[in-house]
Chains A and B, each alone.
Chain A
Amino acid sequence: MPSPSPSARSRLQDWLPRLVLAPSFALVLVFVYGFIVWTGVISMTNSRILPVYNWVGLDAYARLFAQPNWWMALKNLAIFGSLYITICIALGLFLAILLDQKIRIEGFLRPIYLYPMALSFVVTGTAWKWFLNPGMGFQNTMRQWGWEGFTFDWLVRPDMAIYTVAIAGIWQASGFVMAMFLAGLRGIDSEMLNAATVDGASSWTIYRRIVIPLLRPAFLSAVIVLAHMAIKSYDLVIALTGGGPGNATELPSTFMYSYTFTRSQMAVGSASAMIMLMGIAAIMVPYLYSELREGRK
């Protein structure tokens, strides 16, 4: 900080940094936190097509949790989220460990695992919708190749469609998780591992007992990032299944959108948005808090 001085010019210099930051911070305060409060207020009214401000307390929340559709969305999020997180992590870790074995074509393989992350979810959904099309896609191809009884029609089966969302999501994000783990593996001190090897530990033991525990930060980051992406997933479902068949792949995000903008139940939609926000906050706030504290010098 420059030392304070009586001249106007240097007083301006003192205030300039704050003046430069102020517009951005004000925008965030108003458009993020102010709007969250606004949405919270709407969720406690009986708004339908447009916001009206008749206070009805938690009525919209009661109606939200009385909706079978909302429970469907929560159940789907639980299925999708748990598969998405665990399989992305398992696959990502597996690929990272394989790639870390002095693979000569690593530079060629890595971008192949990662490119889906550059695509928009709408593109991913479109591609997988076509690939999983029972009539003309993968199922048909297997049958043409002679496997007459081959069936893979999850996309159109209400009980299985949510798993296709998980498949497409995993395809998109697992390469990214691989990269996170690979970065973690590269950061491990090889001296320690060589010592363990000299002691006669098998490579399986070394991974299980030493390497994987050392990757704890990468695991934590991966879980946080994936959980947060799972809760926010919207475009992928819209492009892949449109929330269907019926409401079979409804997620909180699609529920919020349709109740707010097409079903004229704005209060219920707002309530669902607030529940989503609470879910994210429960994951992110402790994480960011601990990260910020660690960064403290």
Chain B
Amino acid sequence: MSLSATAPTRMNRIVIYGLLLIFAAVYLVPLFVMLATSFKTLDEIRGGNILALPAQPTIEPWARAWGSACIGVTCEGIKGYFWNSIKMVVPAVLISTALGALNGYVLTKWRFPGHRIVFGLMLFACFIPFQSVLIPMARVLGQLGISNSTAGLVMVHVIYGLGFTTLFFRNYYDAFPDELIHSAQMDGAGFLTIFWRILLPSSAPIIVVTVIYQFTNIWNDFLFGVSFSSGANAPMTVALNNLVASSTGVKEYNVDMAAAVIAALPTLIVYVVAGRYFMRGLMAGAVKG
């Protein structure tokens, strides 16, 4: 909505634009500082101004962050951890999205007595503090022989992502006309045929939202990563924290910042490319429709 009738004066407009631009600058400062620092030499950082552009830009810190920075006892940069995160995030997103789609379908189009309580329990599971399941999960991963492995993290992320993916698909399929389902049933189509032929082809928007939401959450996860993995098996966020928190040797702020930007890049790219859907995902997660 907007107050079109109260014609704002020119002065008002200037103040509004001014405020908006000042805030935009404030929000951009940390990203700018990260980027600027990541292209500076250590000498320039020590003597310099954090808000200044690099005088002699260098990509050396990026190369070091990617390939040779020391994390723990190994000095091979963050590339291995970056791939760990990729190997974790891809299967976890695909599996949790697929299950969420099926669950949402059942919970809207094949309702059974008690479907509401089933959904309620799955919904509350989205919001629990994960501290309340960490200790049992660590025990179970150990007993399954997948502690400190990517497979273990995939399992954890699938399980604790199910609530949200189910929520997204349930809300989307809820608005899908039941008549189409009924007429397909008249034609003899079964449970899976209806899902495959009728619902799935029109699910592209919600699949995009769910995939983006899950990708962002799982890529950015730290708690599960730090609890259930260590050493060379850690995901990107854990490696970044270890790199930045390490206190041995010379503190290479430029390398830290390059690593931070690398850790942020996948989700930032998704945000820039598909911001609209990203937003919808956040809102759907926040405001249950």
B267 at the interface (CB under 8 A from A): yes
User: Which of A190, A198, A252 lies in contact with B1, CB distance below 8 A?
Assistant: A190
B8 at the interface (CB under 8 A from A): yes
Per-residue contact bits, chain A 227-255, to B (CB 8 Å; 1 contact, 0 not): 01001101100110010000000001100
Give the complex CA separation of A25 and B115 in angstroms. Answer: 11
Contact between chains at B132 and A35 (CB < 8 Å): yes
Tell whether A111 pairs with B6 under 8 Å between CB atoms, given A266-B135, A288-B120.
Answer: no
Contact between chains at B24 and A113 (CB < 8 Å): yes
Q: How far is the CB of B199 from chain A (nearest CB, A)?
A: 13
Give the complex CA separation of A290 and B99 in angstroms. Answer: 26
Enumerate chain B residues within 8 angstroms of A261, measured Cβ to Cβ.
Answer: 227
Per-residue contact bits, chain B 112-146, to A (CB 8 Å; 1 contact, 0 not): 10001011111111011111111111011000000
User: Which of B21, B160, B287 lies in contact with A221, CB distance below 8 A?
Assistant: B287
Contact between chains at B2 and A119 (CB < 8 Å): no
Stretch at the interface among A58-66, A82-90, A99-107: A99-107
Contact between chains at A211 and B118 (CB < 8 Å): no
Tell whether A292 pairs with B17 under 8 Å between CB atoms, given A35-B136, A235-B223.
Answer: no
Contact between chains at B278 and A131 (CB < 8 Å): no
Enumerate chain A residues within 8 angstroms of B5, measured Cβ to Cβ.
Answer: 194, 197-198
Enumerate chain A residues within 8 angstroms of B112, measured Cβ to Cβ.
Answer: 1, 17-18
Contact between chains at B137 and A31 (CB < 8 Å): yes
Tell whether A277 pairs with B282 under 8 Å between CB atoms, given A17-B106, A42-B135, A120-B264.
Answer: no
Enumerate chain B residues within 8 angstroms of A76, measured Cβ to Cβ.
Answer: none
Residue of A115, A138, A280 with most chain B CB atoms under a 10 A cut-off: A115
B149 at the interface (CB under 8 A from A): no
Contact between chains at B134 and A273 (CB < 8 Å): yes
User: Which of A18, A42, A136 lies in contact with B253, CB distance below 8 A?
Assistant: A136
User: Which of A95, A100, A197, A274 lies in contact with B6, CB distance below 8 A?
Assistant: A197
Contact between chains at B162 and A24 (CB < 8 Å): yes
Interface residues of B in 64-118 (CB under 8 A from A): 99, 102-103, 106-107, 110-112, 116, 118
Give the complex CA separation of A190 and B3 in angstroms. Answer: 8
B163 at the interface (CB under 8 A from A): yes
Contact between chains at A141 and B240 (CB < 8 Å): no
Contact between chains at A21 and B103 (CB < 8 Å): yes
A72 at the interface (CB under 8 A from B): no
Tell whether A179 pairs with B132 under 8 Å between CB atoms, given A28-B122, A171-B30, A239-B241.
Answer: no
Contact between chains at A109 and B128 (CB < 8 Å): no
Give the complex CA separation of A171 and B13 in angstroms. Answer: 25
Determine the residue in chain B with the shortest Cβ distance to A207: B3
Q: How far is the CB of A203 from chain B (nearest CB, A)?
A: 5
Contact between chains at A221 and B103 (CB < 8 Å): no
Number of interface residues, chain B, beta carbon within 8 A: 100
Determine the residue in chain A with the shortest Cβ distance to B28: A112
Give the complex CA separation of A175 and B282 in angstroms. Answer: 12
Q: How far is the CB of A189 from chain B (nearest CB, A)?
A: 7
The SS class assigned to the A binding surface is helix
Contact between chains at B128 and A123 (CB < 8 Å): no
Tell whether A130 pairs with B24 under 8 Å between CB atoms, given A39-B136, A119-B268, A203-B3.
Answer: no
Determine the residue in chain A with the shortest Cβ distance to B138: A261
Determine the residue in chain A with the shortest Cβ distance to B222: A235
Enumerate chain A residues within 8 angstroms of B272, measured Cβ to Cβ.
Answer: 111
Determine the residue in chain B with the shortest Cβ distance to A214: B1
Tell whether A127 pairs with B220 under 8 Å between CB atoms, given A32-B128, A284-B127.
Answer: no
Interface residues of A in 154-213 (CB under 8 A from B): 171, 175-176, 179-180, 183, 185-190, 193-194, 197-198, 202-203, 206, 211
Enumerate chain B residues within 8 angstroms of A127, measured Cβ to Cβ.
Answer: 30-31, 33-34, 257, 260
A53 at the interface (CB under 8 A from B): no
User: Which of B4, B21, B123, B185 lies in contact with A2, CB distance below 8 A?
Assistant: B185
A74 at the interface (CB under 8 A from B): no
Enumerate chain B residues within 8 angstroms of A111, measured Cβ to Cβ.
Answer: 271-272, 275
Interface residues of B in 271-289 (CB under 8 A from A): 271-272, 275, 278-279, 282-283, 286-289
B159 at the interface (CB under 8 A from A): yes
Tell whether A292 pairs with B120 under 8 Å between CB atoms, given A130-B34, A235-B223.
Answer: yes
Contact between chains at A35 and B137 (CB < 8 Å): yes
B219 at the interface (CB under 8 A from A): yes
Which 7 A-B residue pairs are closest in the complex by CB-CB distance?
A120-B220, A17-B110, A235-B222, A118-B271, A35-B133, A35-B136, A273-B131
A-B contact pairs, 15 of them (CB 8 A): A25-B121, A39-B135, A98-B19, A103-B16, A109-B20, A113-B23, A123-B264, A130-B34, A130-B257, A193-B3, A266-B135, A272-B131, A273-B131, A276-B129, A288-B123
Excluding A198-B5, A279-B129, A292-B123, 12 further A-B contacts by CB distance (< 8 Å) are A20-B103, A24-B102, A25-B121, A28-B122, A42-B135, A120-B264, A120-B267, A124-B30, A130-B256, A194-B5, A256-B131, A295-B289
